[in-house]
């Protein structure tokens, strides 16, 4: 019994250490020979923010209250989801050398990409705080629910990451298809628009989108300063966990053949 | 302990040759239906391979190109799985399977060292403690902070070898990589292998250099077209292998004459 406990503890230390060096590797590779370095984590969402703000608040105003915070609190989680999934698609095929390494825990690769994009998300978070403060945000108790919403998003993104990583090994155009799907989902999700004016039954259908549920959770806390609607979030969490379990099983089965397919 | 370090039991490995026009994309798969995903033909890279290696033994694997030596070593390392049979490995495995395996060309030698030390099973603390020794053994003090793409193949091999031997292996698998080093470094590696051997490390060595096999290994496996042709004391196996090779080349020259 004791032996098992020691073995499990060693395994956990090993996974933690490998995850740490892989995430560090991710960051080093991303910013090698780049002038702005870590600044790129901020520049991408900021550039998108600038364009959408200009179009939908100045040129064709949507008249959404607190538009700056509304927009940025939607864009930031979206950037995490999109960036992590696009990177996860390449997590196996771009790391064939690691996958062919003796004893390498392949299953950590999709987790690595989701975690390193979570770090980008957290690095850009202070900018959101600046927007919030300048918009007159007052700290309230619902803020304690924020880590939970982030956790739900983590599980959702992770569950999809294992699926796209597995698919990409067999079908190399998965990444392009994913790009198109993400493009569509971006416009079908209230990132820069507001769904209050949408007529039924479209509104109810739109709200089945797990990303809208998440964004609504973020905005309840950050823009409206109220507790997020817990039932839809729980549903997303539960659904994501099921997809994650399924995706992980499929990934594990497929991973036995990764070495030959790379 | 007389426990076996490696048990290879009735192992077969099949490689599939897909249709040359097998769909590589979802689009193609949808256009043609899933039928074309079927395997066109297959061949056995290894067939019913069985042997045991006792803890602390050093075993050489010889055979012609394409005999399945590297495939066998990969399977023992846990890279890929056998289609039939089973492989049991007891203890920490370190493998030098192909040159520069997993090193990233854009990262420096030191960055690669940390990544590979940790993947190989050392904690980050242990890597930090041993990195000086690793760099010194690899004779890379002056280059360790340069990107790996600037390294020669010999330098990459030295780094990979040095990391592997400094991560306290219980089973060390070496596939042909030593050939890249210069004579002095090769000698150093062989010394180090002898040292690991003395400490009880089990070693499996794939090489075309039969002299190394005779000097270093107590036992040898001769693979021929995916099957074990002979397994036993290295002198016996090597001499049989050599005479067969001579025979084959003689026959070959007759056919061509």
DSSP state of B206: E
Which chain A residues contact residue B124 at CB under 8 A?
17, 20-21
Distance CA A10, CA B202 (A): 23
Q: Which of A20, A101, A172 sits opposite B25 (nearest CB)?
A: A172
- Most confident range, picked from A23-32, A143-152, B236-245: A143-152
Does residue A10 belong to the interface with chain B, where contact is any CB pair within 8 Å?
A: no
Distance CA A88, CA A108 (A): 11
Retrieve residue A217's tokens: 């959770």
User: If you measure CA to CA, which chain B residue comes closest to A173?
Assistant: B25
State the pLDDT at residue B37: 55
Q: Is the pLDDT of residue B21 over 60?
A: no
**Are A17 and B24 inside 8 Å of each other by CB?**
no
Does residue A14 belong to the interface with chain B, where contact is any CB pair within 8 Å?
A: yes
Q: Which of B15, B16, B79 sits opposite A102 (nearest CB)?
A: B79
State the pLDDT at residue A232: 93
State the pLDDT at residue B38: 56
Surface of A (176-195) touching B: CB under 8 A: 177
User: If you measure CA to CA, which chain B residue comes closest to A11?
Assistant: B121
State the pLDDT at residue B5: 87
Cα within 13 Å of Cα(A93), Cβ side = 18
Domain annotation covers residue A18: no
**Contact by Cβ (8 Å): B237, B62:** yes
Retrieve residue A205's tokens: 């259908």
User: If you measure CA to CA, which chain A residue comes closest to B89?
Assistant: A103
**Are B26 and A171 inside 8 Å of each other by CB?**
yes
Domain annotation covers residue A5: no
**Are B27 and A173 inside 8 Å of each other by CB?**
yes
**Which residues form the domain of A235?**
33-261
Q: Work out the percent of chain A whose per-residue pLDDT is above 90.
A: 55
Tell me how far apart the terminal alpha carbons of chain A are, to the nearest angstrom. Answer: 39
Is pLDDT larger for residue A242 or for residue B254? A242
- Most confident range, picked from A178-187, B40-49, B82-91: A178-187
Domain annotation covers residue A21: no
Cα within 13 Å of Cα(A199), Cβ side = 0
Does residue A19 belong to the interface with chain B, where contact is any CB pair within 8 Å?
A: no
Domain annotation covers residue A13: no
Distance CA B209, CA B189 (A): 14
Q: Is the pLDDT of residue A209 over 60?
A: yes
Which chain B residues contact residue A103 at CB under 8 A?
77-78, 93, 95, 119-121
Domain annotation covers residue A77: yes
**Are B78 and A97 inside 8 Å of each other by CB?**
no
State the pLDDT at residue A199: 83
**Contact by Cβ (8 Å): B74, A69:** no
- Chain A to chain B, count of Cβ pairs less than 8 Å apart? 84
**Are A13 and B80 inside 8 Å of each other by CB?**
no
Kindly state the average pLDDT of the residues A127-134.
Answer: 90
**Contact by Cβ (8 Å): B218, B211:** no
Q: Which of B25, B80, B93 sits opposite A103 (nearest CB)?
A: B93
CA distances from A50 to A68, A72, A172, B27, B94 (A): 10, 10, 33, 36, 51
Q: Is the ipTM of this complex over 0.90?
A: no
Measured between CA atoms, how close is A60 to chain B, in angstroms? 38
CA distances from A83 to A98, A245, B1 (A): 22, 22, 52
User: If you measure CA to CA, which chain A residue comes closest to B114?
Assistant: A21
Q: Is the pLDDT of residue B112 over 80?
A: yes
State the pLDDT at residue A166: 94
**Are B120 and A103 inside 8 Å of each other by CB?**
yes
Domain annotation covers residue A229: yes
Measured between CA atoms, how close is A255 to chain B, in angstroms? 9
Exposure letters A4-35 (e unless 16+ CB within 10 A, then b): eeeeeeeeeebeebbbebbbbbbbeeeeeeee
At A42-61, the pLDDT tens digits run 888 899 999 999 999 888 88
Q: Based on the structure, what is the number of domains in chain A?
A: 1
Helix (H, G, I), strand (E, B) or coil at B207: coil
Domain annotation covers residue A74: yes
Q: Strand B219-224 relative to strand B227-233: parallel, antiparallel, unpaired?
A: antiparallel
Query: For the residues of A45-80, what is the DSSP string, one character each?
Result: HHHHHHHHHIIIIIIS----TTHHHHHHHHHHHHHH
Kindly state the average pLDDT of the residues A203-229.
Answer: 91
Which chain A residues contact residue B101 at CB under 8 A?
97, 100-101
Most B CBs within 10 A among A12, A102, A109, A261, hence the mutation to make, goes to A102
Q: Is the pLDDT of residue A117 over 90?
A: yes
Q: How confident is the model at residue A25 (pLDDT cuts 50, 70, 90)?
A: very high
Domain annotation covers residue A24: no
Q: Mean of the per-residue pLDDT values for chain A?
A: 90
State the pLDDT at residue A80: 95
**Are B104 and A29 inside 8 Å of each other by CB?**
yes
Q: How confident is the model at residue B19 (pLDDT cuts 50, 70, 90)?
A: low
At B54-110, the pLDDT tens digits run 998 999 999 888 888 888 998 998 888 888 999 998 888 888 887 666 788 889 999
């Amino acid at each position: 019994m004791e032996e098992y406990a020691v073995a499990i503890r060693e395994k956990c230390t090993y996974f933690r250490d490998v995850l740490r060096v892989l995430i560090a590797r991710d960051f080093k590779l991303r910013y090698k020979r780049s002038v702005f370095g870590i600044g790129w984590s901020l520049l991408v969402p900021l550039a998108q923010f600038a364009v959408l703000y200009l179009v939908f608040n100045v040129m064709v105003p949507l008249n959404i209250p607190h538009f700056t915070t509304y927009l940025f609190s939607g864009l930031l989680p979206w950037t995490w989801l999109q960036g992590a999934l696009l990177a996860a698609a390449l997590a196996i095929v771009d790391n064939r050398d690691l996958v062919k390494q003796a004893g390498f825990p392949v299953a950590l690769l999709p987790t690595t990409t989701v975690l390193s994009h979570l770090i980008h998300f957290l690095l850009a978070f202070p900018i959101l705080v600046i927007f919030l403060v300048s918009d007159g945000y007052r700290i309230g108790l619902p803020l304690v629910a924020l880590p939970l919403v982030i956790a739900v998003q983590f599980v959702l993104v992770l569950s999809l990451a294992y699926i796209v990583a597995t698919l990409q090994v067999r079908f190399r155009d998965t990444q392009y298809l994913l790009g198109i799907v993400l493009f569509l989902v971006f416009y079908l999700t209230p990132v820069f628009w507001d769904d209050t004016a949408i007529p039924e039954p479209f509104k109810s259908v739109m709200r089945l989108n797990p990303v809208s549920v998440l964004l609504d959770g973020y905005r309840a806390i950050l823009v409206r300063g109220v507790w997020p609607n817990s039932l839809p979030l729980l549903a997303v969490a539960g659904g994501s966990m099921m997809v994650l379990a399924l995706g992980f099983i499929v990934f594990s089965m497929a991973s036995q053949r990764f070495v030959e397919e790379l | 302990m007389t426990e076996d370090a490696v048990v290879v039991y009735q192992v077969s490995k099949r490689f599939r040759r897909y249709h040359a026009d097998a769909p590589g994309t979802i689009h193609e798969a949808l256009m043609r239906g899933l039928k074309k995903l079927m395997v066109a033909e297959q061949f056995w890279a290894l067939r019913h391979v069985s042997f045991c290696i006792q803890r602390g033994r050093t075993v050489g694997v010889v055979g012609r190109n394409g005999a399945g030596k590297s495939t066998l070593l990969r399977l023992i390392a846990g890279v890929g799985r056998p289609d039939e049979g089973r492989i049991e490995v007891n203890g920490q495995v370190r493998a030098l399977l192909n040159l520069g395996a997993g090193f990233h060309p854009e990262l420096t030698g030191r960055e690669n060292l940390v990544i590979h030390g940790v993947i190989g099973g050392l904690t980050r603390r242990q890597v930090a403690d041993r990195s000086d020794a690793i760099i010194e053994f690899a004779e890379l003090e002056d280059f360790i902070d340069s990107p790996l793409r600037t390294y020669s193949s010999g330098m990459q091999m030295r780094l990979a070898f040095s990391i592997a031997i400094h991560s306290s292996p219980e089973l060390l698998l070496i596939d042909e990589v030593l050939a890249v080093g210069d004579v002095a470094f090769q000698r150093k590696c062989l010394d180090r292998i002898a040292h690991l051997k003395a400490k009880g490390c089990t070693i499996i060595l794939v090489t075309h250099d039969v002299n190394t096999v005779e000097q270093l290994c107590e036992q040898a496996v001769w693979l021929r077209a995916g099957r074990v042709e002979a397994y036993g004391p290295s002198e016996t196996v090597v001499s049989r292998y050599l005479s067969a090779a001579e025979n084959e080349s003689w026959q070959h020259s007759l056919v061509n004459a």
